[in-house]
Chains A and B, each alone.
Chain A
Amino acid sequence: MKKINLSTNNKLALIALILGFIAVFFGTPYESNKAMVNTEELALNIIDTNNIISPLQLAEWIIQGKVDYRLIDLRDENQYEDYFIPGAENIPPTKIKSSELLRNEKILIYSDDELKTAQSWLLLKTLGYKNVYMLKGGIENWKKSIIFAIVTDETKEAKLIEISKYFGGNPKIGTGSEMNVAQELPKAALPKVQSPPSTGGTKKGKPKREGC
C-alpha cells in the first residue's frame, strides 16, 4: 500500500472535515425540548420565600430606577396592552423558551393568576434560569396595594401615598371597609403606561463592539 504523507495542515484540515461531517448527523444541539433539573435545588427553592417579591418592593425598585432585573408580564398581549406594570416586557409562557432572556439575569414574573405564575416559575427554573422571582399576588395585588392603595393613617403612611401617586394611582384614605369600592373602579381609571423601549437587549446599554 502506498504511504500517504500528510503535512500538519493537511491533518488538521482532515480532522475539521471529519468533525464537520459528523455534525451533519447530530443536527442542532440548541433546540432540544428536554431539560435536566436539579431536584434538590428546586425543592430548596420552593421552601425559600426569598423568591417572592411584594408589590411595594417592586414599586421601590422602579422608583429607584433599578435596572438589574427584567420584569416579565406573562399574560396575553391584549391584557398587557390594557395595562402593565411600568418597565414590564410581555412574554407569554409559550414564548419563554424562544425569548432573549439570559440565564443569569434576575427575572421577576407576574401574571393575573398565581398558579400560572408558579407554573411559569417552574418552567423557567427547568430551562436553567438561575434567579427567578414572583410578584406576590400578581397584577391584581399590584393594583390593590399600589394603584388603589387604602391608607388608614395619612401621616404614618405618607410614603405609600407618594408611591401610589408616582404610578398615577389613586390612594384612598379610610378604613379597610372601603376596599371594595376601590376594587370596583373601572379599568379605564388605571393610569396609562408608556411602552418600555423596544426589547432586544437595548436595556443593557450600547451594543458591544467585537472584531479583529
Chain B
Amino acid sequence: MMAPFYKFDMFGEEFSFIIAFIIGIGFGFFLERAGFGSAKKLTSQFYFTDMAVFKVMFTAIVTAMLGVYYLSLIGFLDYNLIYRNETFLLPQIVGGLILGFGFIIGGYCPGTSLVAASTGKLDGIFFLLGVIAGTFGLSLIFPIIEPFYYSTAMGKLNLSDVLHVPYGILVFAVVLMALGGFIAAEWAEKRFAKKTVEVKNEKD
C-alpha cells in the first residue's frame, strides 16, 4: 500500500497544495476542451440535444471506479483513505434540486462557471458572482437551516453497502449502466436534435 500518497505521508501539506493546483488546472483545461465553458452546450443536455455533459461525467465515474477498484485489488491503493462525502439524504436531495434549477437557469454548475469566467465569458463571471453571493447568503441563514442541513445523516455510504451486492458485481453493474446510458444518450441526441431542426425549419 502506498496510495493515497498524501495520506501515507509521501509529501507534506504545502506540496499537496501544489499538486491540487496542477490537477485543478488540468481539470479546468479538459472541461474547457470538452466545450463545458459554454452555457449553451451545458444546458442542451436538459433538452436531450447534446448529452456531452452526461457522457463526460459518467465516463469519469467509470474510469475512476475501475482505477480505484483495480489499484486496490493489487494492493497499491488503500480505498478507505480516499475522502468521501457523508450522506445526508434529505438535505442532499433538496440541495441537488436547487443546484439543478440553478444549472438550467444560469447555464452553469459551480465548476464550469469558473471555467467560463476564466475564459472571459460575461455570463460565467456573473454566474460566479451569484455563487459568491449565494454562499454568503447561506452562511447568514445557516443557523436557521442547520438542523435540516445535518438531518438524515447516514455516514459514509457505498452503493454496495446499501444494496448488499458484492463489490465486483457492483462494478460490473455500474459499467453496464454507463454503457446503457451512453447508448440511450446517443439515441436521444439523434431523436431530439432532429426535432429541433424540424421545428427550426418550420419557423423559417
Contacts and interface: CB of A to CB of B under 8 A. Distances in A.
Interface of A: 13, 16-17, 19-21, 23-30, 36, 100, 102-104, 128, 130, 200-201, 207-212
B109 interface: yes
Contacts of B155: 200
B112 A104 contact: no
10 contacts: A16-B66, A20-B172, A20-B175, A23-B172, A26-B73, A27-B166, A30-B72, A100-B156, A212-B109, A212-B112
Contacts of A30: 72, 79-80, 167
B73 A21 contact: no
Interface size grouping (class) on chain B: 35 or more
B176 interface: yes
Q: Is the interface of A mostly helix, strand, loop or mixed?
A: loop
A20 to B, nearest CB: 3
A29 B69 contact: yes
A103 B175 contact: no
A11 to B, nearest CB: 13
A17 B62 CA distance: 10
Interface string B117-155: 000000000000000000000000000000000000101
A29 B175 contact: no
A207 B84 CA distance: 9
Interface string B6-17: 011100000000
Interface in B81-97: 81, 83, 85-86
B168 A24 contact: yes
The 8 A-B residue pairs with the shortest CB-CB distance in the complex, in nearest-first order: A20-B175, A28-B167, A23-B171, A29-B72, A23-B168, A20-B172, A29-B73, A27-B168
A26 B168 contact: yes
A68 to B, nearest CB: 13
Given A27-B167, A130-B9, A200-B86, A211 B111 contact: yes
A100 B156 CA distance: 9
B22 to A, nearest CB: 17
Interface string B26-43: 000000000000000000
A207 B179 contact: no
Interface of B: 1, 7-9, 57, 62-63, 66, 69-70, 72-73, 75, 78-81, 83, 85-86, 109-112, 153, 155-156, 160, 166-169, 171-172, 174-176, 178-179, 182
Nearest to B186: A9
B8 A19 contact: no
Given A104-B7, A130-B9, A16 B167 contact: no
B83 A210 contact: yes
A28 B166 contact: yes
Nearest to B62: A16
Contacts of A207: 85-86
Contact of B79 (A29, A210, A212): A29
Contacts of A13: 179, 182
B99 to A, nearest CB: 8
Contacts of B57: 212
A16 B9 CA distance: 32
B171 to A, nearest CB: 4
A19 B86 contact: no
Given A104-B81, A128-B1, A210-B85, A16 B166 contact: no
Given A20-B66, A30-B72, A100-B156, A211 B110 contact: yes
B155 to A, nearest CB: 6
Which of B8, B69, B86, B160 has the most C-beta atoms of chain A within 10 angstroms of its own C-beta? B69
Contacts of A100: 156
Given A28-B167, A207-B85, 4 more contacts: A16-B62, A19-B70, A30-B79, A212-B110
